[in-house]
Amino acid sequence: MQVSVIVLAAGQGTRMNSDLPKVLHKMGAAPLLHHALATARSLEPARIVVVTGHSSEDVTAATLAFDETAFCVRQDPQNGTAHAVRQATPFLADAEGDAIVIYADSPMIREATLRAMLEARARHAVVVLGFHARDPGRYGRLIADGENLHKITEWKDAADAERAITLCNSGVICADAKLLSSLVAEVKNDNAAGEYYLTDIVELARSRGFSAGVVLCDEAETLGVNTRAQLAEAEAAFQSRARAEALDNGVTLTAPETVFFALDTHVGRDAVIGPNVIFGPGVTVESGSEIKGFCHLEGCHISRGAQVGPFARLRPGAELAEDVHVGNFVEIKNAILDEGVKVGHLTYIGDADVGEFTNIGAGTVTCNYDGVMKHRTTIGKRVFIGSDTMLVAPVTVGDGALTASGSVITEDVPPEAVAIGRSRQVTKPGLATRMFEKLKSIKAAKAKGQ
């Protein structure tokens, strides 16, 4: 059966004390909104509708950057959750099947939990996601008998006996798409806050003779982000989950608590990740690779059998083929390294293509930027680049060639040639001693003058 997802992302988040919309603050190197969209997309929905509000243009842009097929609609003014859903329902006018309402500032909801709600729809017309709270606080309370839900009472409107209930409302709701549209159209704002509560659809559905049900999840899944402290808590929860999933998938983490993943990090089975490794967005590490300690990776692809680090940085566009070795204090950016390439240490390779089994010596730099434009360096197969070589792009070094250590290469090097681009050494016997004696006498004279 088809499913549609409505993502509520209209809140300003004043308690974040930020000019940035709350849902664009990052967790796992991605906006909170993207986490919600990733969960929504895991259901393979027929459509996704995002309800924006504060900084609507920025939230819309972030939505389309993640999923260009999503629909965005602005809620203005912001008069409650039912009012927000009402803005989305025109996009579901011809939708078949169910609709699920989730929240962009509650990024920890699992796909399995939403699928459990969809399964419960076979038994109930409306399904609400609930949880037992350690400290119920100001959460709305679920008045239920087992799985059967009678009503949801907001804390502001709850009696003392209802406030004593620990079964709380997460806000996530699932219903038939057409029924949901019909129900939110009937919601009134005759409550303490003067808002249109989505929770009111439970009693409205029951008044029509429909049943409502509750699906439970762990409280940790319902974590909402409204403050910087809660954002930090969510980040810790996300990293803990990502590390556990990596270990379960056969990845070795030698010091799990020091590894930080991004939302879209992909690490293959039997890969080994050392301590203090940070994954930025867009990283894929294939099976059998090793990332040693203190590496920072972003926007790169590392193939089977490659070794990276320690203390290496891979930036966007770095492509490492099988069995490539990138050593300590090496930076790779927008460069393709073919099979078996070795870049041992203290080197920058940017905007370059490096052929298979080439060796790059220490201190090599591809000088790719002229102050206005970037230029590409092409290095062939089985080339030996001597230590401290400056390759001034655009330049090509042919297959099997060699550059002498300390060279500045400004012209193309033919295949199998040796390129030497350095001044001839001049040696003057005895001059060092005479120079040191002169300098020492000058220093002594200055000391006396003081």
- pLDDT confidence of residue 194: 86
By annotation, the residues acting in catalysis are 345
Is the backbone peptide bond immediately before 429 cis, with ω within 30 degrees of 0? no
Does residue 268 form part of some domain?
Answer: yes
Last residue of some domain: 187, 222, 257? 222
- pLDDT confidence of residue 450: 65
Q: Are residues 197 and 314 in the same domain?
A: no
Does residue 424 form part of some domain?
Answer: no
Does residue 426 form part of some domain?
Answer: no
Q: Are residues 300 and 196 in the same domain?
A: no
Q: H or E element: which one contains 391?
A: strand 390-392
Q: Are residues 403 and 271 in the same domain?
A: yes
Q: Are residues 169 and 318 in the same domain?
A: no
Does residue 390 form part of some domain?
Answer: yes
Q: Are residues 252 and 370 in the same domain?
A: yes
- Identity of residue 162: E
Domain membership of residue 342 as a residue range: 237-419
- pLDDT confidence of residue 4: 97
Last residue of some domain: 164, 187, 222? 222
Q: Are residues 62 and 184 in the same domain?
A: yes
358-361 — which CB contacts under 8 Å span 24+ positions? Answer: 358/382, 358/383, 358/384, 358/385, 359/383, 359/384, 359/385, 360/385, 361/385, 361/386, 361/387, 361/388, 361/389, 361/405
Does residue 339 form part of some domain?
Answer: yes
Residues of the chain with pLDDT below 50 are: none
Identify each DSSP E strand in 238-383 by its residue range.
Answer: 252-253, 266-267, 272-273, 278-279, 284-285, 290-291, 296-297, 301-302, 307-308, 313-314, 319-320, 325-337, 342-354, 359-360, 365-367, 377-379
Does residue 427 form part of some domain?
Answer: no
Does residue 441 form part of some domain?
Answer: no
Phi then psi dihedrals of residue 190, to 5 deg: -85, 70
Residue 267: give its domain's CATH number. Answer: 2.160.10.10
**Domain tally for the chain?**
2
Q: Are residues 76 and 134 in the same domain?
A: yes
Q: Are residues 191 and 102 in the same domain?
A: yes
Beta strand 307-308 with 313-314: parallel, antiparallel or unpaired? Answer: unpaired
Identify each DSSP E strand in 84-125 by its residue range.
Answer: 98-103
Last residue of some domain: 222, 247, 279? 222
Identify each DSSP E strand in 220-324 by its residue range.
Answer: 252-253, 266-267, 272-273, 278-279, 284-285, 290-291, 296-297, 301-302, 307-308, 313-314, 319-320
Q: Are residues 199 and 268 in the same domain?
A: no
In whole angstroms, how far apart are CA 39 and each of 16, 36, 137, 193?
24, 5, 27, 31
Q: Are residues 180 and 61 in the same domain?
A: yes
Residue 139: give its domain's CATH number. Answer: 3.90.550.10
Q: Are 107 and 23 in contact (CB under 8 A)?
A: no
- pLDDT confidence of residue 300: 98
Q: Are residues 181 and 212 in the same domain?
A: yes
Q: Are residues 113 and 177 in the same domain?
A: yes
- pLDDT confidence of residue 207: 95
Does residue 302 form part of some domain?
Answer: yes
> The tokens 């909801």 sit on which residue?
109
Half-sphere exposure of 287 (CA within 13 A, CB side): 4
Phi then psi dihedrals of residue 410, to 5 deg: -115, -10
Q: Tell me the per-residue pLDDT of 48-63, one tens digit each, with 9 for 90 and over.
A: 999 999 999 999 999 9
- pLDDT confidence of residue 356: 98
Q: Tell me the per-residue pLDDT of 397-413, one tens digit each, with 9 for 90 and over.
A: 999 999 999 999 999 99
